[in-house]
Each structure stands twice: as C-alpha cells, then as structure tokens.
Amino acid sequence: MSYETILFEMTDGMARLTLNRPARLNSFNTTMHAEVRDALAAVQTAGARVLVITGAGRGFCAGQDLGDRAVAPGGAAADLGESIEHHYKPLVLALRRLPLPVLAAVNGVAAGAGANIALACDLVVAARSASFVQSFSRIGLVPDSGGTWLLPRLLGGARAMGLAMLAEKLPAQQAADWGLIWRCIDDEDFAGEVDTIARQLACAPTRSLAHTKRLMREGWDHTLEEQLDAERDAQRELGFSADYAEGVAAFAQKRDPKFTGR
C-alpha cells in the first residue's frame, strides 16, 4: 500500500515501518498518525512475526510537528489534549499490545514524543550518533506518550527527573550504559545489525515472546505469588504449542529449531 508519510513493507515475516518525513525529522502530523494506525493493523493481519520501526534520513522522530494544526496558536491546550487522547495514547498502547516483538531502530535523534514512542517498543537499539531528548520542558509541557510512566521504571527516579526537567540530550551510548535501551551500535554496522536482530526475532517462537512481553509488563502490578500464577498459566498454554514440541525435538536431535510462531 502506498503512503504519504511512512514506508511500510513486509518480507519473510519481518514488517518494517519507516517514518518518512525526513525534512521535518519525521515528526508526527495527523496524516502520519492515520497511516501508522493503518500499518499497525496490517502487521497483525498479514502474519508478521516482528515489527521494526525506524526513521528516514538523519532522525528517528522529533515528536509532534509543531507546525501541524493540532498545536496551532490560540488553541494549543485543548488541541494537545485531544491529540494525546486520539493519537498518542492509542499508538503507545497498540505498540505495547502487539502480540509480537517490536524493535525500535533509532537511527538519529529521538525527541519528545518520538523518544517515548521508541521506548514503548520491546527492544530499542540505537546508532552511536543517535540521541534521546525529553524536550517537553523547553516548550512548557510534561513528558507525554508514556514518558512519565516509562522513564522512572527504566531509569529510576533521579535520572528520570533530571532528563525530564533539564531536557538534556542523552547520547545513545549513555542511554545503553544506563539501561534505557538494549544496545548502542556503531553507525557503520547499524543497518546490518538491525537486520540480524529482526531476522532472529522473526525466526523465534512468536507466541512465547508475546507472553514474555505481557508478563514482564504486567509484573509491575503483581505480587510475587500472582506473577508465579501468571507464569504457570502461560507455561501451561505454551506447553501444548507446536513451537514447544519443535523446540524439544530440536534439542534432543541436536539441531536448530524451525519455529512457526504457533
């Protein structure tokens, strides 16, 4: 399908969504929101086993396009609330709920909502030249798109508060050292490493990864006993899956498993 603000393709179970407004550092406008929603729906119906999200050009995503009508002068407060309710909230929840791994490949600056959309993904890798900026305080706002929820959980209170209040640029290597992202990759190796990770995830047992991401996130709200029960229920279901049978057979036969995601 042809889009105006994104690129979307799927090959061998790997879906790739590229934010494609490079002249605006891939910032979101209303058209991009609609097209991303459409692509995410296609991911679930087309049999994808991994989704890679990245940006075109020199940036990943600069968040909201401040020139878009959603934040036009004179109606900013009401329009911003509507934009969050109808665009960013559904986007973040959709990424978290996809029953397959979502890999953010941060190729350049990720600022504002763009940073937090990346952090809402399951795995985040970044090029060494990339950076993350919680830029909201520079324009009198609070971190949105889940920023006030994600940052303290990923970094702890002190670092989360410092990034949010001071709006300082966090280089990719430091983000990896702090545990904010999975890995920082040299720029010249970035594209190849992203493809390698995507292929690995596409060949993995998709149902078990979907349960893993769900359990990891629900665990914040569970007691240990509740989480042990949730793990039991997931293992009980997965124990009857074709991928579990294949995994055990491959182990016994000393060969690589061929998972199908079922």
pLDDT digits (tens, 9 = 90+) for 210-262: 999 999 999 999 999 999 999 999 999 999 999 999 999 999 999 999 999 99
pLDDT band at 5 (very low <50, low <70, confident <90, very high): very high
pLDDT band at 67 (very low <50, low <70, confident <90, very high): confident
- Choose between 237 and 44: higher pLDDT: 237
pLDDT band at 74 (very low <50, low <70, confident <90, very high): low
Retrieve residue 184's tokens.
């920082």
**Statement to judge: residues 15 and 122 lie in one domain:** yes
What DSSP line would sit under 114-128, residue for residue?
HHHHHHTSSEEEEET
pLDDT band at 71 (very low <50, low <70, confident <90, very high): very low
- 58-72, 117-131, 188-202: the lowest-pLDDT one: 58-72
**Statement to judge: residues 92 and 214 lie in one domain:** no
Average pLDDT, the chain: 95
pLDDT band at 77 (very low <50, low <70, confident <90, very high): low
Q: Quote the number of domains for the chain.
A: 2
Average pLDDT on 50-56 reads 98
Distance CA 37, CA 8 (A): 12
**Residue 57, domain member (yes or no):** yes
Residue 185's pLDDT is: 98
- Choose between 72 and 68: higher pLDDT: 68
pLDDT digits (tens, 9 = 90+) for 184-209: 999 999 999 999 999 999 999 999 99
Residue with tokens 């393709």: 9
Q: Helix or strand or coil: residue 77?
A: helix
pLDDT band at 88 (very low <50, low <70, confident <90, very high): very high
**Statement to judge: residues 215 and 148 lie in one domain:** no
Range of the domain at 243: 206-252
**Residue 257, domain member (yes or no):** no
Residue 23's pLDDT is: 97
**Statement to judge: residues 64 and 149 lie in one domain:** yes
- Tell me the β-bridge partners of 225: none
**Statement to judge: residues 141 and 174 lie in one domain:** yes
What DSSP line would sit under 188-240, residue for residue?
HHHHHHHHHHHHHHHTS-HHHHHHHHHHHHHGGGS-HHHHHHHHHHHHHHHTT
Residue 13 pLDDT greater than 90, yes or no:
yes
**Statement to judge: residues 69 and 170 lie in one domain:** yes
**Statement to judge: residues 27 and 116 lie in one domain:** yes
Contact between 209 and 101 under an 8 Å Cβ cutoff? The reply is yes
pLDDT band at 161 (very low <50, low <70, confident <90, very high): very high
Provide the pairing of β-strand 102-106 with 50-55.
parallel
| Percent of the chain residues past pLDDT 70, beyond the cut | 96
Residue 68 pLDDT greater than 80, yes or no:
no
**Statement to judge: residues 133 and 225 lie in one domain:** no
Helix (H) or strand (E) holding 161: helix 157-166
Residue 72 pLDDT greater than 80, yes or no:
no
Identify the CATH number of the domain in which residue 63 sits: 3.90.226.10
Residue 230's pLDDT is: 98
**Statement to judge: residues 76 and 191 lie in one domain:** yes
Distance CA 204, CA 187 (A): 26
Residue 79's pLDDT is: 75
